[in-house]
A and B are shown apart, each in its own frame.
Chain A
């Protein structure tokens, strides 16, 4: 493409004797302008300089998750392992775990049991490599007065000597893994979607950080990396999954994914494992023997948060009666 300045000749009707000089002058001027302009342009594009290594470039040109062949996926996983090792000096094991056939996950949480100790919050952070500064947590434990579930009265920054406190109960809230997820519908680039085991996942390499999903979520379950996440390397969990707990970068969304790196390998999620009260139950609702199936068929009082929104959560709260 020719620079427009080259075309600017002498003014219409200019004398022939002025011709030469004008050309030379305008040529000099135009090249000066061109150089300064290009230099400034280059400088203004300097954020691209951060695409310093091949790795970032590879991520940049990476294909959509669902279109990656197994060979391409293997390459991507290697790239991530390399990246993580470079940044944290810890060699991770990154897998792309797929949903299992005949499995649909459901969570059930016993509000009569929960004592509000917040161990689930921190076990989740440790398992899922959330940023420690600034602090990103997938689970928020609400403290509510007995007698009603009035979210207006919910408190989340309680810090008494011991829990539970008289007259209150506790309600941990995290991604509800809706059957009808509004967050998925609003994503303009399909970077978040629901998989057949019921888990709504995010491809951190595809997310453009527009935060529509966070605005669409009625449960306030999505977390955004406003700044570069900071995780001390000795706290990094090296057992990772692509759609799960691999480290995120600045500008992407994240949220609870039922610990895909554990649950798709047959294990219970981290929040359940640490619950001292045994309030958290997780499993395959398609298996009639699973804990969650037994609970849903035996217990009588269930609450689905914001049921009226019609999102149909796969997360059930219940009381023992």
Chain B
């Protein structure tokens, strides 16, 4: 082959090459435009900042039904309710208080209503050492029996503090005990988990790189 033919061949090859590339980009068989099925959007309830329960204070703040807090709508001022006990020492609840399930402590060790509520003024809470507190100001009550947890809570170790970590930049908010624990049965309640990783992601990744990134590689 002489020089001219060689160049011609090289040119031909180059042109073919460019044409092939052009064809590739136009037809795009590699699948950049492949239509992937959309992953369903996650319910925004899973991204809100709700706590486990509404405290009495929160019910008032959000103008919910606070009738249960109005003790003397049903009780009489100078007639403290009498406690009746089951054989296992648990309190017999009046049907008006059926929404209250006592279960405080592993052996229901803290079941007596008047461990916390003030017998002579039902609207108040009362610590073991006689300090009286408003119903919506219950944290020191819990603290009177749960000292270490309370001290942790005061500095933000137990519970949740949100807002501004930089205290001079803006306000912070500290959730009170009863926003997370029902005072009557304080064990943290079970929670419905938000959706897990969508399997489609692993499929998409598999197609591209031959391995999945959703398997934990730890």
Chain A: residues with CB nearer than 8 A to chain B?
4-5, 8, 11, 26, 33, 36-37, 40-41, 43-44, 46-47, 100, 115-119, 121-123, 125-126, 132-137, 140, 142, 151, 154, 156-164, 173, 218-220, 223-224, 226-227, 230, 232, 235, 263, 265-268, 272-278, 281-284, 289-291, 294-295, 298, 305-306
A-B contact pairs, 20 of them (CB 8 A): A43-B26, A44-B19, A46-B25, A117-B194, A119-B47, A123-B46, A132-B39, A140-B197, A154-B218, A163-B192, A218-B218, A220-B216, A273-B49, A274-B47, A278-B158, A278-B180, A281-B157, A289-B155, A291-B161, A295-B157
**B19 contacts A8, C-beta separation under 8 Å:** no
Closest 9 CB pairs of A and B: A266-B169, A40-B18, A43-B22, A266-B166, A44-B21, A162-B190, A278-B160, A118-B194, A151-B218
Chain B residues with Cβ under 8 A from A43's Cβ? 18-19, 21-22, 25-26
**A156 contacts B191, C-beta separation under 8 Å:** no
Question: For the complex, what is the distance from the CA of A134 to the CA of B166, rounded to whole Å?
Answer: 35
**A116 contacts B193, C-beta separation under 8 Å:** yes
Total contacts A-B at CB 8 Å: 201
Question: For the complex, what is the distance from the CA of A227 to the CA of B49, rounded to whole Å?
Answer: 31
Nearest A-chain residue to B189, judged by Cβ: A162
Q: Known pairs A134-B39, A281-B156. 18 more at Cβ < 8 A?
A: A36-B15, A40-B18, A40-B22, A46-B26, A123-B47, A133-B36, A134-B201, A136-B201, A142-B218, A163-B190, A163-B192, A235-B41, A266-B169, A268-B162, A276-B160, A276-B191, A278-B158, A278-B175
**B198 contacts A135, C-beta separation under 8 Å:** yes
Chain A residues with Cβ under 8 A from B158's Cβ? 278
Decide yes or no: A156 and B197 within 8 Å by CB, A126-B47, A163-B190 being known contacts: yes
Nearest B-chain residue to A41, judged by Cβ: B18
**A118 contacts B216, C-beta separation under 8 Å:** no
**A283 contacts B165, C-beta separation under 8 Å:** yes
Chain B residues with Cβ under 8 A from A116's Cβ? 193
Chain B residues with Cβ under 8 A from A46's Cβ? 22, 25-26
Decide yes or no: A267 and B46 within 8 Å by CB, A140-B197, A158-B196, A230-B38 being known contacts: no
Residue from B160, B208, B209, B217 whose CB has the most chain A CB atoms within 10 Å: B160
Query: Which one, A4, A118, A125, A135, contacts B193 given CB within 8 A?
Result: A118
Q: Mark B33-66, 1 if CB is under 8 A from A, else 0.
A: 0001111011010111111100000000000000
Question: For the complex, what is the distance from the CA of A122 to the CA of B44, rounded to whole Å?
Answer: 9
Query: Which one, B22, B194, B196, B218, contacts A157 given CB within 8 A?
Result: B196
Residue from B2, B152, B158, B166 whose CB has the most chain A CB atoms within 10 Å: B166
Chain A residues with Cβ under 8 A from B32's Cβ? 227
Chain A residues with Cβ under 8 A from B11's Cβ? 5, 33, 37
Nearest B-chain residue to A263, judged by Cβ: B165
Distance from A216 Cβ to chain B, minimum over Cβ atoms (Å):
12
**A268 contacts B165, C-beta separation under 8 Å:** yes
**A291 contacts B218, C-beta separation under 8 Å:** no
Distance from B14 Cβ to chain A, minimum over Cβ atoms (Å):
6
**B163 contacts A268, C-beta separation under 8 Å:** yes
**A8 contacts B193, C-beta separation under 8 Å:** no
* Interface membership of B200, Cβ < 8 A: yes
Which B131-188 residues have C-beta < 8 A from chain A? 152, 155-166, 169-170, 175, 180, 188
Which B106-128 residues have C-beta < 8 A from chain A? none
Chain B residues with Cβ under 8 A from A151's Cβ? 216, 218
Nearest A-chain residue to B207, judged by Cβ: A226
**B191 contacts A267, C-beta separation under 8 Å:** no
Chain B residues with Cβ under 8 A from A219's Cβ? 218
Question: For the complex, what is the distance from the CA of A143 to the CA of B42, rounded to whole Å?
Answer: 21
Nearest A-chain residue to B155, judged by Cβ: A294
Residue from B152, B157, B205 whose CB has the most chain A CB atoms within 10 Å: B157
Question: For the complex, what is the distance from the CA of A272 to the CA of B170, rounded to whole Å?
Answer: 17
Question: For the complex, what is the distance from the CA of A200 to the CA of B8, rounded to whole Å?
Answer: 54
Decide yes or no: A37 and B18 within 8 Å by CB, A135-B200, A227-B36 being known contacts: yes
* Interface membership of B204, Cβ < 8 A: yes
Query: Which one, A100, A164, A227, A290, contacts B204 given CB within 8 A?
Result: A227
**A267 contacts B170, C-beta separation under 8 Å:** yes
Decide yes or no: A277 and B15 within 8 Å by CB, A5-B7, A268-B165 being known contacts: no
Nearest A-chain residue to B216, judged by Cβ: A154
